[in-house]
């Protein structure tokens, strides 16, 4: 599968490395200009939308908006590409992205992850998924490389983002309780 990353932070690097190791054709664009062995560097983020799958893993709503929405990358996306939002973003922004993808005719699914970079390096993430079941089924070979378990959260992308925020809240509350 031809997979592109937008974002090569600690999590993205670990995931991209696993996909390369498992025979996928991986390319990436990153704001920092980082490169990674076995991953083709993309000069502009538009190029990420020319493959089969785009995995976006940026830090937050603002980063995603500045890279994907503001420059209107969706209007230049290849027909048939699936955009997978692995970033932890707000439910409101996930709903907005769903509408923008629908308007542009681009498949959009949410797949935020639970785990740290070391867990990602081991291919043992927990992936929360939300979106059209047909698109999610096409992504199973990708998710199987990256995760220990896939958690379906329904056919609306924002359901997966809501679940991720709830998981983060529970972790925070547990830490606070222990303190």
Q: Given this model, what pLDDT does residue 73 score?
A: 97
From CA 93, how far away is CA 43, in angstroms rounded? 26
Per DSSP, the chain holds a count of helices (H) and strands (E) of 6, 9
Angle at 155 between CA 153 and CA 160, to 5 degrees: 35
Contacts of 140 (CB under 8 A, 6+ apart): 150
Structure tokens at 177: 């309780």
Query: Taking the model in full, what pTM does it have?
Result: 0.95
Low-confidence stretches of the chain (pLDDT beneath 50): none
Q: Given this model, what pLDDT does residue 39 score?
A: 98
Buried b / exposed e across 56-74, counting CB within 10 Å, b at 16+?
bbbeebebbbebbeeeebb
Does residue 47 have an active-site annotation? Answer: no
Q: Given this model, what pLDDT does residue 130 score?
A: 98
Q: Which of 47, 78, 148, 164 is catalytic?
A: 164
CA 172 to centroid of chain Cα atoms: 23
Angle, helix 157-178 to helix 91-104, in steps of 10 degrees: 160
């Amino acid at each position: 599968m031809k997979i592109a990353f937008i974002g090569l932070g600690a999590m993205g690097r670990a995931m991209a490395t696993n996909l390369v190791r498992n025979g996928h054709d991986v390319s990436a664009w990153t704001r920092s200009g980082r490169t990674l062995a076995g991953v083709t560097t993309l000069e502009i983020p538009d190029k990420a939308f020319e493959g089969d799958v785009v995995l976006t893993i940026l830090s937050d709503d603002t980063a995603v908006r500045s890279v994907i929405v503001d420059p209107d990358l969706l209007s230049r996306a290849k027909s048939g590409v699936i955009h997978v939002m692995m970033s932890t973003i707000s439910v409101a922004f996930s709903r907005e992205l769903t509408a923008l993808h629908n308007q542009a005719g681009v498949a959009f699914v949410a797949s935020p992850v639970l785990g740290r970079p070391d867990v990602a390096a081991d291919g043992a993430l927990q992936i929360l998924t939300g979106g059209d079941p047909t698109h999610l089924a096409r992504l199973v070979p990708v998710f199987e490389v990256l995760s220990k378990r896939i958690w379906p959260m329904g056919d609306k992308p924002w359901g997966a983002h809501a679940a991720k925020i709830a998981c983060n809240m529970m972790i925070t509350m547990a830490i606070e309780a222990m303190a």
